[in-house]
């Protein structure tokens, strides 16, 4: 490992970057990272996944640093689940957004923190896309899942609204949300790769971005941008690429990301992130 003064912070995306095309961390990658971390490597992940999903996906990996979940909405200790930072939606905006979405005929899933634990709230199963997700969460024994009257939990710290529908319906809702709430939310629209044809529209607080969360980690651990290397593959990684000196895209990354990368490495199926780090320390 490098000397203390030359220590570096490495942050990687998960799906399509650190994980292979089966959304798994290889045994080789897990073993190598654990050895590096034991020897002082400063390494963590930034993902749109929840901490529940991150823990399942990275089972066996011992991270010493907190992880960035929900695309920057939370910074969380992976072992204990403690949230160091929660960028929740303002309570007044939460009520207004819920009413707005409901009036458009959608019943969202709402991710929240009730002061003691994380909750994944839903009221109705409105279509097969939602049904697939609820079944999946039950199969995964996701203890966050709760069937509730959504109005009753608006007082909690709401982190994310998720609507699951076909693309044409969600793009219309997305545009209406952006028109009404200019610069107040971060909005993502993507297809569920495990349930083709069904798309997810997620709405989070404007601070729920990877670059904002990374700035918090840099400040906490006394690093600057020159001591930061990030790895990514998706357009959602663009904002963290903007703040890092070393911006590493895997070969299967989106063209937009490759354009701003300082280096392009092998694919996520080749454990390229881990091999890059091994060659750097």
CATH number at residue 17: 3.40.50.1000
Domain end, chosen from 205, 228, 257, is at 205
Instruction: Report the candidate in 81, 100, 151, 159 with the shortest Cα–Cα distance to residue 123.
Output: 151
Nearest to 84 by CA among 60, 101, 65: 65
Question: Do 81 and 98 share a domain, yes or no?
Answer: no
**Three-state DSSP state, 261:** coil
Q: What is the pLDDT of residue 154?
A: 79
Per-residue pLDDT, 152: 82
Say yes or no: 65 and 118 in one domain.
Answer: no
Residue 60 confidence (pLDDT)? 96
Q: Which has the closest alpha carbon to 86: 62, 108, 115? A: 115
Across the range 158-169, mean pLDDT stands at 97
Give the pLDDT band (50/70/90) at residue 274: very high
Kindly state whether residues 15 and 47 are assigned to the same domain: yes
Same domain, 97 and 153: yes
- For residues 251 and 267, the answer to whether their CB atoms sit within 8 Å is yes
The average pLDDT across 14-24 equals 95
Confidence label for 193 from pLDDT (cuts 50, 70 and 90): confident
The answer to whether residues 77 and 24 belong to one domain is: yes
Q: Which of 205, 226, 246 is the last residue of a domain?
A: 205
* pLDDT per residue as tens digits for the range 223-236: 988 999 999 999 99
Among residues 188, 205, 222, which one ends one of the domains? 205
182 and 216 in a single domain? The answer is no
Distance from C-alpha of 153 to C-alpha of 145, rounded to nearest angstrom = 13
- Look up the domain containing 135 and give its range: 91-205
Number of structural domains, the chain? 2
Phi-psi region of 147 (alpha: psi -120 to 50; beta: other; left: phi over 0): beta
Q: In what order do the strands lie in the sheet with 67-69?
A: 67-69, 74-76, 83-86
Pair 190, 105 in one domain: yes
Dihedrals φ, ψ of 191, to 5°?
-80, 140
Kindly report the CATH number assigned to the domain that includes residue 163.
3.30.1240.10
Q: How far is residue 116's CA from residue 113's CA, in Å, rounded to a whole number?
A: 7
Instruction: Please check the confidence at residue 258 and state whether its pLDDT lies above 50.
Output: yes
| Whether residues 29 and 82 fall in one domain | yes
Same domain membership, residue 227 and residue 158: no
Task: Judge if 128 and 150 occupy the same domain.
Answer: yes
Q: Look at residue 126 and tell me whether its pLDDT is greater than 90.
A: yes
**pLDDT at site 1:** 25
Q: Are 70 and 159 in contact (CB under 8 A)?
A: yes
Percent of the chain past pLDDT 90, that is, above it, reads 90
Q: In which band, very low, low, confident or very high, does the pLDDT at 2 lie, cut at 50, 70 and 90?
A: very low
52 pLDDT band, cuts 50/70/90, is very high
């Amino acid at each position: 490992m490098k000397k203390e003064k030359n220590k570096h912070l490495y942050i990687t995306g998960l799906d399509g970057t650190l994980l292979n095309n089966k959304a798994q961390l290889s045994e080789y990658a897990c073993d190598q990272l654990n050895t590096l971390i034991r020897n002082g490597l400063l390494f963590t992940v930034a993902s749109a996944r929840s901490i529940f999903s991150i823990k399942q996906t990275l089972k066996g990996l011992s991270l010493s640093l907190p992880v960035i979940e929900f695309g920057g909405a939370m910074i969380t200790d992976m072992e204990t689940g403690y949230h160091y930072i929660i960028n929740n939606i303002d309570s007044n905006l939460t009520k207004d957004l819920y009413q707005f979405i409901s009036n458009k005929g959608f019943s969202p899933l709402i991710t929240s923190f009730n002061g003691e634990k994380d909750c994944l709230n839903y009221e109705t199963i409105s279509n097969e896309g939602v049904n697939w997700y609820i079944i999946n969460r039950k199969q995964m024994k996701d203890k966050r899942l709760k069937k509730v009257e959504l109005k009753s939990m608006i007082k909690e710290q709401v982190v994310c609204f998720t609507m699951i529908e076909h693309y044409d319906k969600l793009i219309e809702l997305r545009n209406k949300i952006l028109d009404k709430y200019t610069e107040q939310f971060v909005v993502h629209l993507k297809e569920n790769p495990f349930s083709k044809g069904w798309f997810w529209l997620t709405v989070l607080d404007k601070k729920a971005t990877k670059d904002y969360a990374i700035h918090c980690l840099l400040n906490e651990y006394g690093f600057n941008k020159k001591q930061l290397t990030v790895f990514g593959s998706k357009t959602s990684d663009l904002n963290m690429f903007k703040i890092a000196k070393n911006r590493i895209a895997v070969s299967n990354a989106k063209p937009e990301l490759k354009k701003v990368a300082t280096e392009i490495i092998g694919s996520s199926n080749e454990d390229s992130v881990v091999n890059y780090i091994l060659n750097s320390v």
